[in-house]
Amino acid sequence: MKVLLSWIREHVDVPGTGEEIGARMSLRGLALEGIEQAGDDAVLDFDVTANRPDCLSIRGIAREIAAVYQLPLEEIARPPASAVGKVLEAASMRASEISVSIPDQDLCSRYVAAVADVRVGPSPDWMQSRLVASGIRPISNIVDITNYVLLELGYPMHAFDHAKLAGPAIVVRRARPGETIRTLDGKERTLDPEVLVIADAERAQAIGGVMGGADSEVSDVTKRIVFEAAWFNPKSVRATSKRLGLRTEASYRFERGADLTGTAVAMARALELLEAIGAGRSAGRIVDCYPVPYAEREVTLNAAIVTRLLGMDVPDIDAVRILQSLGFEVRTLGGWQAGAPEAAAPMSQPGYAWQVGVPGWRVDILRPVDIVEEIGRHYGFEHLPSTFPAVEQAPAPSDARIARDARIRRALIATGLSEAIAFAFIENAAAAPYLLDDGPLVLANPLSEKFTTLRPSLLPGLVDAVSHNRRHGRRDVRLFEIGTRFSRHGETRTAAVAWTGTATPEHWSGKTREVDFFDVKGVAEQVCTTLGVTAEFVAACRPYLIAGRTAELRVDGQVVGVLGQLEPAIAEQRDLPGADAIFVVEIDLDALTARAREGVRFATPLPRHPSVIRDIAILLDDTLSAEAVRDTIRFAGPDTLVDVREFDRYHGKGIAEGKISLALRLTFQAPDRTLTDTEVHAAMERIVQDLTIKLGATQR
């Protein structure tokens, strides 16, 4: 909100420079973004938060400054010299030139209208210079008056050309289905019954709280106008503004909440300015259609709560002074009137409380804590003592998933991966390949087309991160992310990996090789080992992974993850060349944790007795999985079989088509004795027999 310092001083006679005032106001919650010079004057640019629509005006900021400097707030007097009340009184003596009805009172609780005879032309230099300094382009004296009132009082107004209205009646109603209006920006807009319009007897002439219509626009030949000042429902204005894609100074203020009690004052100020600059005068009585009168809000505040919430003692006289300077009415429930010469009851007295009347312009004040914030803000948070709060209860335990995710993160970093953090919102095209049974979770109001869908998987974000790295000249990319994926069944905590390029770094001592399926399989095994879970890998199919290079990660028969090579077509869609393989892993950490070993995990003592190693080479079908061979060996072997490992796989010359030669190393060891050759030999015979019977293997 840009405000001229000289304009502020018409409302409060504040001393000091703009820098001094801005610095002091920043300490009281009205942050100063910058100061500009406008000739001999200064323009202060305040950052007004969304909950303070009362500060979107000169009057509102002047009220805050008056409270900070403990100065009186002046009446609106310059220019012109006459008071607002006199204008209201004079206008009420004349007959009305227009009538107002409000069929939809839930969307408009008050509508004030006045007719005036005018001479349209340029506004005075002083008014134009103030508008320009505040960021508004001068148009004509009539339009400039409405903008002047907007800046000074924070109340949007509008002026209709009286001759262009169909009759003297104004109707504030919902738009008819399919009704159209050409707004002041020259665009034809189609309306629906959710939109509130200001209409004459025939058609809509303005969109309530947003923008006026071009058909009743004030022009150079306008002789009589109808001034409008109204209160519109904030939710309705915001919905209309978004539906029509139309943001204006009026909608910006109305959707945050206007002062229902200030419409008549705004109208009187506009008529006062009209006469002061010689642009015209009121031609009839002000019509104030007020079907839903303002219900004054009162908040009961126990004085002891101020000390408890702020953590410091605020003298009750200071608290009352602050509230009164901000426009609140304060009295005690015990009968003492705020401002009385006798001392008030001390705050420490049990049951001592204030009844605080909230002014209409403070739409953000709803609860006692809001009143306490106002007291603390103006008393000064810098007065808070530097003390530690008393610990009344032990903090809640941290979510167990936090420690688990940290363990997984350390394990993945140890494998040489780098962590990436992607957006939870992605574009629909990126999410489509990863949708299995559910449809996409589409946002109703996305920030852009790039963020329309909640991600069903972490892989789209990682693939885009790989694409970003490749476009910036990095060929070898190893990324992981731990985050949340979304479906119609709920949220799931997931770990995902994307790996492309070489499997090992380049080194002078040897050649590098490209990453393959077994590298990412090792990453998945590392995650399982970290959580103490034994998993199996089973061939599977996924639409986004290459068939034959895809596996499911299963624990106790339940699928907890998937891994494989990304389909080249999907990689190309995300601006990745199809020539380089991209291997991915995604593991459901919540499902994996549910099957982790619980309780204390004891360390295994080092063996005291020697191990016995036996190698075996067998011929078997090349379609058999290594897991099937290992399971057969473990099932046939004794408890002393502690390890089974493949060390050679051969197919080619001397091996029949469809067969392979697989060499395995078996390790036997007993914790309590040294094994004999007889025991080991008997175990080997049983193992060979089972391999022959169950898998059709032949020992070489």
pLDDT band for position 390 (cuts 50, 70, 90): confident
pLDDT at 482 over 70: yes
DSSP 133-195: HTT-----HHHHHHHHHHHHHS--EEEEEGGGSSSSEEEEEEPPTT-EEEBTTS-EEE--TTS
Residue 154 · residue 148 · CB < 8 Å: no
pLDDT at 549 over 70: yes
Owner of token pair 């869609």: 573
> Which burial class, exposed, middle or buried, applies to 459 when counting CB atoms under 10 A from its CB (0-12, 13-18, 19+)?
buried
Residue 561 · residue 587 · CB < 8 Å: yes
What is the residue type of 327? G
The DSSP secondary-structure symbol of 215 reads G
What is the residue type of 697? A
Within 8 A by CB and 6+ apart from 473, the residues are none
pLDDT band for position 80 (cuts 50, 70, 90): very low
The DSSP secondary-structure symbol of 452 reads -
Owner of token pair 């605020």: 314
- pLDDT of 609-625, one tens digit each? 999 999 999 999 988 88
**Contacts within 8 Å (CB) and 24+ apart, 384-389:** 384/310, 384/311, 384/312, 385/311, 385/312, 387/311, 389/311
pLDDT at 456 over 80: yes
DSSP 369-384: HHHHHHHHHHH-GGG-
pTM of the predicted model, to two decimals? 0.63
Element (H, E) at 64: helix 58-69
Treating both helix axes as pointing N-terminal to C-terminal, what angle do 368-379 and 316-325 enclose, rounded to 10 degrees?
Answer: 100
The percentage of the chain sitting over the pLDDT mark of 70, rounded to a whole number, equals 93
Query: Which pLDDT score, from 0 to 100, does residue 76 have?
Result: 62
How far is 305 from 370, CA to CA, in rounded Å? Answer: 12
Comparing 89 with 222, which gets the higher pLDDT?
222
Within 8 A by CB and 6+ apart from 505, the residues are 476, 512
**What is the pLDDT averaged over residues 44-61?**
90
Query: Which pLDDT score, from 0 to 100, does residue 92 have?
Result: 52
Residue 316 · residue 148 · CB < 8 Å: no
Within 8 A by CB and 6+ apart from 388, the residues are none
How far is 656 from 624, CA to CA, in rounded Å? Answer: 15
How far is 697 from 700, CA to CA, in rounded Å? Answer: 9
pLDDT band for position 600 (cuts 50, 70, 90): low
Owner of token pair 């002046």: 74
Alpha-carbon distances, residue 425 vs 73, 420, 422, 479, 566 (angstroms): 49, 15, 9, 19, 21
Residue 636 · residue 693 · CB < 8 Å: no
For the chain, give the longest Cα–Cα distance.
123
The percentage of the chain sitting over the pLDDT mark of 90, rounded to a whole number, equals 54
pLDDT band for position 40 (cuts 50, 70, 90): confident
Ramachandran area for residue 207 (φ above 0: left; ψ -120 to 50: alpha; else beta): beta
Determine how many CB atoms are found less than 10 A away from the CB of residue 352. Answer: 18
- pLDDT of 102-132, one tens digit each? 998 999 999 999 999 999 999 999 999 999 9
Comparing 224 with 311, which gets the higher pLDDT?
224
**What is the pLDDT averaged over residues 459-464?**
93
- The string over 583-594, giving b where at least 16 C-beta atoms fall within 10 Å of a residue's C-beta and e elsewhere, is bbbbbbbbbbbe
The DSSP secondary-structure symbol of 312 reads S
Query: Which pLDDT score, from 0 to 100, does residue 566 have?
Result: 93
**What is the pLDDT averaged over residues 186-209?**
92
Alpha-carbon distances, residue 693 vs 606, 681, 699 (angstroms): 36, 19, 12
List the alpha helices (DSSP H) in 510-608.
517-530, 568-573, 589-594
Residue 313 · residue 319 · CB < 8 Å: no
Residue 243 · residue 127 · CB < 8 Å: no
How far is 272 from 227, CA to CA, in rounded Å? Answer: 12
The pair of three-digit structure tokens given for residue 494, joined into one six-digit string:
């997931």
- Kindly report whether the peptide bond that precedes residue 80 is cis, defined as omega within 30 degrees of 0: yes
The listed range with the strongest mean pLDDT (48-52, 173-177, 347-351) is: 173-177
- pLDDT of 262-298, one tens digit each? 899 999 999 999 999 999 998 888 899 998 888 888 9
Residue 175 · residue 196 · CB < 8 Å: yes
Query: Which pLDDT score, from 0 to 100, does residue 604 have?
Result: 75
**What is the pLDDT averaged over residues 496-504?**
91
Tell me which residue of 87, 141, 139 sits closest to 114, measured CA to CA.
87
Determine how many CB atoms are found less than 10 A away from the CB of residue 93. Answer: 7
Query: Which pLDDT score, from 0 to 100, does residue 37 have?
Result: 83
Alpha-carbon distances, residue 361 vs 209, 365, 449 (angstroms): 17, 10, 38
Tell me which residue of 264, 288, 278, 342 sits closest to 85, measured CA to CA.
264
Q: Report the DSSP pairing between strands 477-487 and 418-419.
A: parallel
**What is the pLDDT averaged over residues 513-525?**
92
- pLDDT of 294-325, one tens digit each? 888 899 988 788 888 888 888 888 888 999 99
Query: Which pLDDT score, from 0 to 100, does residue 87 have?
Result: 54
How far is 181 from 247, CA to CA, in rounded Å? Answer: 16
**What is the pLDDT averaged over residues 667-678?**
92
In degrees and rounded to multiples of 5, residue 321 shows phi and psi of: -60, -45
Domain architecture of the chain: domains with CATH: 2-69 (3.30.56.10), 84-289 (3.50.40.10), 297-383 (3.30.56.10), 400-594 (3.30.930.10), 612-699 (3.30.70.380)
Return the CA Rg of the chain. 39
**What is the pLDDT averaged over residues 349-363?**
80
What is the residue type of 214? A
pLDDT band for position 344 (cuts 50, 70, 90): very low
How far is 514 from 64, CA to CA, in rounded Å? Answer: 67
Within 8 A by CB and 6+ apart from 552, the residues are 537, 538, 539, 540, 559, 561, 562
Query: Which pLDDT score, from 0 to 100, does residue 24 have?
Result: 87
The pair of three-digit structure tokens given for residue 414, joined into one six-digit string:
């140890």
Tell me which residue of 215, 152, 143, 154 sits closest to 179, measured CA to CA.
215
pLDDT at 77 over 60: no
